[in-house]
Structure 1
């Protein structure tokens, strides 16, 4: 048996090698270049899938890693009757996979296969819920909401896939929550028989697809708890599936948020008001003519607001939107008893309902009330072990709060969930290493200590394509002349490249201040200044940057990674400060404390490697193709004046460096 498996493995891996060889099938693709690193990665992925084990791969910019994992994943899925799940962090990469890479492989591979995008079910309209909402419109919706409902009903007749992305104007969330697909309401049994249910149609496409593209957040929502994953006989979401995480450097951050607890004041308020809204006198209790339920729901919204007001007055938000809660029972529990009472009333009313659909709606809201109650108890008692707890301001004007808890160390959790036996998972990104070829830092953070690492460099010639300028003359950020110096050097270098620059900041407030001070300079020099946060979404800003000559884009966190601007439009990336994370963000603060508790040094074991990864991502925006050329400017002299600066420089591509 072993010999057979080995010979099969060799055959499969060799076939993949051949596809990526100088004269292989991939050489027929437009703009093909033979890249030994790409071939090496494809073979490593094929071997890991064949041997049913896990793999961690750093593939430098330009390797063509998406094709390197897609080709072996597709062929392996088809030959072994499995499903390939490809998870990404950004929509940009999802679109690249679905509209560029997968179509290339459909032309080139000698097989036919199906690929589909997996969206959260709340993205889809449920025609059955829409029909019921229209029937009960007077008891559920106000006049303007009824107009919105009519608009959605008209759209439902012509929409292609019934999902939010097909709507030109975003719907009113209060109306959408009453007509979108929900678990336990829009089920295979209730809606699956109807050919017009958009979510059930999408689900059928997923079940018949060989490749499913998903985002990390939705994936971790669907994976459920570590216990649920450990109970599975095989696979992660489907029997016999395997996962490829691209942009894997974001997995720790996303998993921490999703595996933890999140109780949203706005979300809980909306759930209660779906039962009864005292302002509009609408809701499911009105439909059921239940006076006791009406009173309970109306009182509970007031109680909820008082509870969150008590929380707000116990928090200090002067440092930002988050406040860490270090002790249990930091406010009296005035809410969970009321939630239990409402949950019991929902169950009672649901039992009386003759209408199965109405019963399902009530039961679903009952589950949400129960989950919110359980989460609130855990938060107030702080009884989830090794978690960090914090309150966060949410909403566009920070008018609501949410209660949050997350595991401080995600590694043991992911070891149980993802790196299980009899499963296969590949994690890849262009930035996993902080200077060591064994990717030890990343592997330890995500529980992949025992997993094989592969480090593949970039095929680009950075020595001729890129130059780094370091401004040693920059004052310390705490000095009075810092702002003036920062503006001077930004102005100097954007003029050098005639715009065509990203200026990356570590603080939103700092970015806005510099933008306000420099507007007159940009206007005088006829340079087009674009600033993140001015109302335009990221995709639109990026499009303006690419299409408008002499543009300069000021960006924070989301522009450091996942942004692709090949060609002449981007020739200059200015890093205003080394990207050390703010240590007072609750989850980061707790991670630093944990390192110290275990006898380690928080700076060298967490803060420094995280900042190195972030700097590598920022620098990685510049050179995207073999023809790109440009400069990196670092306006933080610590990279040459502090001993740890050497670690940053060692992790960057080898190219000429000039110190000013």
Structure 2
């Protein structure tokens, strides 16, 4: 019988090295998969408890003044752990603290085998939304009555461990065997748990028919469930009545459904556009219920005509929502079956063949890769799609994943036994048989610019989040290249002596050294790496010499410089072009040697498929480097392009990023897309300025002749839900007065935070201003009361920052461009939105500058036709962050008085819903906000 002891500590801070102390211990004993005992005690830390910790745990100085000191109970704690496993949710923290205290009191440290429930949860619940104790408790429906008290947290951790133990006892033999080979690299001692499961399986049959195994990997078998569809449907009007009317099915299946006048009208508009082969621009404001509004006519039309329709979204979050929530709902609402499929690019799907190969060959990996392999082993027994977006991997995990994605597979032979098991091939087949294909803008544009060879053929498409389609098309028609990735790729390939891709490859096969020019390979690879360094250092210095001021900083703090080969300083630039030419010759030499190597092996020792794939992958990548370098520096542009360099002065790596995009995609889209398709429906909550679609229509190249435009207002009562406050006494930034303006902004943030208890999102247009505000706030804010989170300063992705913001009751989040949209923070989590400056693109931004010049050359007004509409649409997106449901309430505080003073200010105010506006002194606005809350 195995005994497990779960421990959780509350402490005065994060670091025993800084003399932080334990103030609360919770212990739970598990024997025979049952909780048999619990213990808890407070400790007197002999130092004041910080207010932040009291806030978090509810433990104050008076609670511990009569509590024992740690040394008085140390022996009792040691004896509890005898002969047991030690379990904690983040073992390094709890065990580290405990052992530090034991060392302080000259006691023996604990050396028990350990199980870390964070690590084990990541492996066994790879689809969980997060791995904090509270998130896992919610995900697994474990009651958590008193979070951040030691006994409650220890009890939840114990319950969590029992769920993890249960999960291990459902795993198939192959999965357990692979986990056992990975176990040595993990932090948790799982050997005994896994061998117990292996022995169980040796004496009993595995009872899950859905799980099959092939070549040593166990995975879930995906059934092909395609119902036959009958195109004999009611008229569209009757069909809408059945769904939307008083007695309609939508009321039966959506408990809290509120009729939305725009929803049915939007469905009708889309259906009419399909019938008349028209394109449509439809703005549906927040709360219209637009996904349902476009799915209803799209599904009807696809089934009725027997011709598939594509739906494209920008975010994977919306794709998942459509597939997991909206489509099952519609399946209930309507009286006929239909088939929907999700299709993404090859790089999203795992290749079982590649993964099996990696499991069997590369045993000596680092911790992150071991963890990734373990997560994938479990995930394969659960996933029906093989889509890696279902997992939350670390950045090294994603690099490993690139090696095992379908993209790395090369050509897969239809006769290969793996072909029938390929998730990508299944997704493609499903898409070919579907009425509705859901995809993303990225694949839609890749398909468009590659003669439509990635998606099954279609003539009608609905593009949701359509304000992104211009940028996505530009990125896909353009390119990017950077020195870090180039060097990473060459290091990954390696010289002949190294145990890297090329070296391993040579070590595996016997070959004639006279015929394979190894020494040339090694010297050319080293020369290539040297040439990359020299070229990118020269580009770095070139940008530094050209940088006049701080205005060219990007929103993540990089310096940007737009270049035009014809106009650069000829002497320095010619040297750079010579370097580029020399570098492309070296890369060509590498490709030539690889071709000789492949030819030699083809004639003598046939290569196995994986090595051939790797070889072709290297050649393809090196050729891409040549193509990109030539397009950036050496070739004439076939369409007007903007090219720019970004350098990261704060990075130790001297990172240099090169970009190239078309200045105008409207003609490309008009010719390659709108003229070729019967009907393209573009919808978003933000497409108009002043109720006009002219801007977006021109940017996308949509002709008037077969275009429908419609706008549907939000059902929310903005007048009762929002107050728009604009101060009239902020320092004017026009006269270089940024420091005073930043100071006034920070004071307003503090005053509003007092009124709204934090829960503020502050949107900046300049990373530089965000950074200065963050450090000023850090000095003047009560950090025990408020948690301050700064994008680009606090670590983590956008999603991670949002999660941190929602975790703390009193948080202030400072964000730049990517927070202006796409981040939903519903309900009480967000009460106040501050917009620091109107979101105009910085005039020195390379893409904006190039597009402006292009418009000026055509005799157009760049401010009115590009800058202003872009800023208005961005402002609408920012404004839309605040109210996400009928019960939300909040304040929008705009620090930029141009919205009232400038001639163009009314364009912003006319483009948002009708809300009460107060333009007054900051003091009056604060009183108003307090009164309103």
TM-score when normalising by structure 1: 0.88
In structure 2, C-alpha distance between the alignment counterparts of 1:550 and 1:307, rounded to whole Å: 48
Question: What's 2:899 paired with?
Answer: 639
Give the conservation status (yes or no) of the 8 Å contact 2:470–2:699.
Answer: yes
1:552 equivalenced with 2:812 (yes/no)? yes
Give the conservation status (yes or no) of the 8 Å contact 2:537–2:654.
Answer: no
Question: What's 2:247 paired with?
Answer: 23
In structure 2, C-alpha distance between the alignment counterparts of 1:643 and 1:411, rounded to whole Å: 29
Residue by residue over 1:439-484, the C-alpha shift from the partner in whole angstroms, topping out at 9 and shown as x without a partner, is 1111111111323211111122222222211111111123252222
Question: What's 2:672 paired with?
Answer: 417
Structure 1 pair 10/470, CA: closer, same or farther in 2 (3 Å)?
farther
Bigger drift between 289-298 and 374-383 goes to 289-298
Q: Matches of residues 379-418 of structure 1 in structure 2 within 5 Å?
A: 379-384=632-637, 385-393=639-647, 397=651, 399-418=654-673
Residue by residue over 1:347-399, the C-alpha shift from the partner in whole angstroms, topping out at 9 and shown as x without a partner, is 33223332362334323332332232122112112511311111234799364
Match of 1:287 among 486, 491, 505: 505
Give the conservation status (yes or no) of the 8 Å contact 1:433–1:442.
Answer: yes
Return 5+ residue gaps in structure 1 as ranges.
1-7
What's the offset of the Cα at 1:541? 3.0
Q: Matches of residues 507-522 of structure 1 in structure 2 within 5 Å?
A: 507-519=766-778, 521-522=780-781
Match of 1:452 among 688, 700, 708: 708
What's the offset of the Cα at 1:428? 0.7
In structure 2, C-alpha distance between the alignment counterparts of 1:656 and 1:148, rounded to whole Å: 52
Give the conservation status (yes or no) of the 8 Å contact 2:309–2:458.
Answer: no
Give the conservation status (yes or no) of the 8 Å contact 1:9–1:51.
Answer: no
Q: Matches of residues 491-530 of structure 1 in structure 2 within 5 Å?
A: 491-519=750-778, 521-523=780-782, 526-530=785-789
Residue by residue over 1:265-321, the C-alpha shift from the partner in whole angstroms, topping out at 9 and shown as x without a partner, is 333334444543478442236514641444433432232232322322322366333
Structure 1 pair 392/468, CA: closer, same or farther in 2 (3 Å)?
same
Residue by residue over 1:97-134, the C-alpha shift from the partner in whole angstroms, topping out at 9 and shown as x without a partner, is 23332232232222333444434322333232344446
Give the conservation status (yes or no) of the 8 Å contact 1:17–1:39.
Answer: no
What's the offset of the Cα at 1:335? 1.3
Q: Secondary structure at the match of 2:814?
A: strand
Match of 1:197 among 414, 422, 437: 422
Q: Secondary structure at the match of 1:113?
A: coil
In structure 2, C-alpha distance between the alignment counterparts of 1:594 and 1:219, rounded to whole Å: 27
Aligned length, in residue pairs: 640
In structure 2, C-alpha distance between the alignment counterparts of 1:274 and 1:481, rounded to whole Å: 50
Give the conservation status (yes or no) of the 8 Å contact 1:148–1:175.
Answer: no
What's the offset of the Cα at 1:492? 2.4
Residue by residue over 1:570-614, the C-alpha shift from the partner in whole angstroms, topping out at 9 and shown as x without a partner, is 222111111111121211110111111111222122111111111
Question: What's 2:542 paired with?
Answer: 314
In structure 2, C-alpha distance between the alignment counterparts of 1:486 and 1:632, rounded to whole Å: 14
What's the offset of the Cα at 1:615? 0.9
1:598 equivalenced with 2:818 (yes/no)? no
Question: What's 1:100 paired with?
Answer: 325
Question: What's 2:461 paired with?
Answer: 243
In structure 1, C-alpha distance between the alignment counterparts of 2:291 and 2:636, rounded to whole Å: 42
Q: Secondary structure at the match of 1:449?
A: coil
Question: What's 2:47 paired with?
Answer: none
In structure 2, C-alpha distance between the alignment counterparts of 1:470 and 1:565, rounded to whole Å: 23
Structure 1 pair 267/543, CA: closer, same or farther in 2 (3 Å)?
closer
What's the offset of the Cα at 1:522? 4.2
1:372 equivalenced with 2:625 (yes/no)? yes
Q: Matches of residues 112-511 of structure 1 in structure 2 within 5 Å?
A: 112-133=337-358, 137=362, 143-144=364-365, 154-160=374-380, 161=383, 162-165=386-389, 167=391, 169-170=393-394, 171-172=396-397, 175-182=400-407, 185=410, 187=412, 189=414, 193-225=418-450, 228-229=451-452, 237-240=455-458, 242-277=460-495, 280-284=498-502, 286-288=504-506, 290=516, 291=518, 292-316=520-544, 319-320=552-553, 321=558, 322-328=560-566, 331=576, 332=578, 333-352=581-600, 353=602, 354-355=606-607, 357=609, 358-384=611-637, 385-393=639-647, 397=651, 399-437=654-692, 439-450=693-704, 451-477=707-733, 478-479=736-737, 480-511=739-770
Residue by residue over 1:165-213, the C-alpha shift from the partner in whole angstroms, topping out at 9 and shown as x without a partner, is 4555434555444332226615353757445434334444444444333
In structure 1, C-alpha distance between the alignment counterparts of 2:832 and 2:373, rounded to whole Å: 49
Match of 2:910 among 631, 638, 650: 650
Question: What's 1:5 paired with?
Answer: none
What's the offset of the Cα at 1:69? 0.8
Structure 1 pair 548/363, CA: closer, same or farther in 2 (3 Å)?
closer
Bigger drift between 268-277 and 375-384 goes to 268-277
Give the conservation status (yes or no) of the 8 Å contact 2:372–2:397.
Answer: no
In structure 1, C-alpha distance between the alignment counterparts of 2:286 and 2:375, rounded to whole Å: 42
Structure 1 pair 297/77, CA: closer, same or farther in 2 (3 Å)?
farther
Give the conservation status (yes or no) of the 8 Å contact 1:276–1:286.
Answer: no
Return 5+ residue gaps in structure 2 as ranges.
1-231, 567-572, 921-933
Structure 1 pair 136/301, CA: closer, same or farther in 2 (3 Å)?
farther
Q: Matches of residues 57-96 of structure 1 in structure 2 within 5 Å?
A: 57-96=282-321
In structure 1, C-alpha distance between the alignment counterparts of 2:746 and 2:368, rounded to whole Å: 48
In structure 2, C-alpha distance between the alignment counterparts of 1:430 and 1:168, rounded to whole Å: 29
Bigger drift between 244-253 and 99-108 goes to 99-108
Give the conservation status (yes or no) of the 8 Å contact 1:265–1:308.
Answer: yes
Give the conservation status (yes or no) of the 8 Å contact 2:408–2:613.
Answer: no
In structure 2, C-alpha distance between the alignment counterparts of 1:493 and 1:654, rounded to whole Å: 23
What's the offset of the Cα at 1:159? 2.4
Question: What's 2:224 paired with?
Answer: none
TM-score when normalising by structure 2: 0.64
In structure 2, C-alpha distance between the alignment counterparts of 1:168 and 1:649, rounded to whole Å: 40
What's the offset of the Cα at 1:74? 2.0
Bigger drift between 201-210 and 422-431 goes to 201-210
Residue by residue over 1:463-517, the C-alpha shift from the partner in whole angstroms, topping out at 9 and shown as x without a partner, is 2222211111111123252222112222222333333322111122312322222
Give the conservation status (yes or no) of the 8 Å contact 2:372–2:393.
Answer: no
What's the offset of the Cα at 1:253? 1.7
In structure 1, C-alpha distance between the alignment counterparts of 2:241 and 2:619, rounded to whole Å: 54
In structure 2, C-alpha distance between the alignment counterparts of 1:36 and 1:585, rounded to whole Å: 41
Match of 1:532 among 770, 778, 791: 791
Give the conservation status (yes or no) of the 8 Å contact 2:496–2:503.
Answer: no
Query: Superposition RMSD on alpha carbons, in Å?
Result: 3.0
In structure 1, C-alpha distance between the alignment counterparts of 2:626 and 2:823, rounded to whole Å: 40
Structure 1 pair 277/69, CA: closer, same or farther in 2 (3 Å)?
farther
In structure 2, C-alpha distance between the alignment counterparts of 1:73 and 1:386, rounded to whole Å: 36
In structure 1, C-alpha distance between the alignment counterparts of 2:683 and 2:256, rounded to whole Å: 24
Q: Secondary structure at the match of 2:913?
A: coil
In structure 1, C-alpha distance between the alignment counterparts of 2:538 and 2:712, rounded to whole Å: 53
In structure 1, C-alpha distance between the alignment counterparts of 2:527 and 2:626, rounded to whole Å: 16
Structure 1 pair 276/448, CA: closer, same or farther in 2 (3 Å)?
same
In structure 2, C-alpha distance between the alignment counterparts of 1:526 and 1:156, rounded to whole Å: 41
